């Protein structure tokens, strides 16, 4: 007689990969509060590309509670933030052609989502990176660290 718990256990074992490949994507969510649901994103250097699945799970319009995801070097954040504001709503508060922006999503309103993919070779070992929301007034609270890891 085969016990259900044994079957479940075997199925669980079979679904394990032989080696644990690191995930090359992460889910990141923000709602009608000025916050992301995580403050750290770790990117394995074994990934060629990395994808951030950004979701605005709130209901507010992007003109009132817009969220985006902008990736920069730590040192570039203040300047990218300020020039993004000058870029204005029409540009999703990211200055077009700003070479300091490593990756950026559109500005999302409630219910919207976007996957942003960037090439991992753009990240340098030992460098500090930060992601933030460039919507006016959000950058101070909506930000986190992104690290390159083995």
* Binding site residues, Co ion, CB under 5 A: 67, 133, 135, 138, 142
CB of 24 to Co ion, least distance (A): 25
Token pair listed for 57? 């799970």
What Å distances lie between residue 58 and 1, 28, 135, CA to CA?
50, 13, 15
CB of 91 to Co ion, least distance (A): 15
CB count in 10 Å sphere of residue 10: 11
With respect to Co ion, which residue has the nearer C-beta, 77 or 133? 133
With respect to Co ion, which residue has the nearer C-beta, 65 or 102? 65
Residue with nearest beta carbon to Co ion: 133
Contact between 29 and 37 (Cβ < 8 Å): yes
CB of 67 to Co ion, least distance (A): 4
With respect to Co ion, which residue has the nearer C-beta, 129 or 135? 135
CB of 66 to Co ion, least distance (A): 6
- Which pairs count as long-range contacts for 86-94, CB under 8 Å and 24+ apart, including other chains? 89/63, 92/66, 92/68, 92/134, 93/66, 93/68, 93/134, 93/135, 93/136, 94/68, 94/70, 94/134
With respect to Co ion, which residue has the nearer C-beta, 71 or 123? 71
């Amino acid at each position: 007689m085969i016990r259900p718990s044994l079957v479940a256990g075997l199925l669980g074992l079979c679904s394990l990969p032989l080696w644990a490949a690191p995930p090359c994507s992460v889910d990141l969510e923000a709602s009608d509060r000025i916050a992301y649901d995580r403050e750290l994103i770790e990117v394995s250097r074994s990934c060629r590309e990395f994808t951030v699945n950004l979701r605005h799970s709130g209901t507010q319009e992007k003109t009132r509670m817009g969220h985006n995801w902008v990736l920069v070097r730590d040192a570039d954040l203040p300047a990218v933030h300020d020039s993004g504001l000058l870029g204005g709503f029409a540009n999703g508060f990211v200055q077009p052609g700003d070479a300091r922006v490593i990756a950026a999503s559109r500005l999302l309103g409630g219910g919207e989502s976007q996957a942003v993919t960037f090439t991992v070779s753009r990240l340098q070992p030992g460098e500090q990176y930060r992601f933030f929301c460039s919507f006016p007034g959000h950058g101070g609270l909506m930000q986190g660290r992104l690290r390159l890891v083995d």
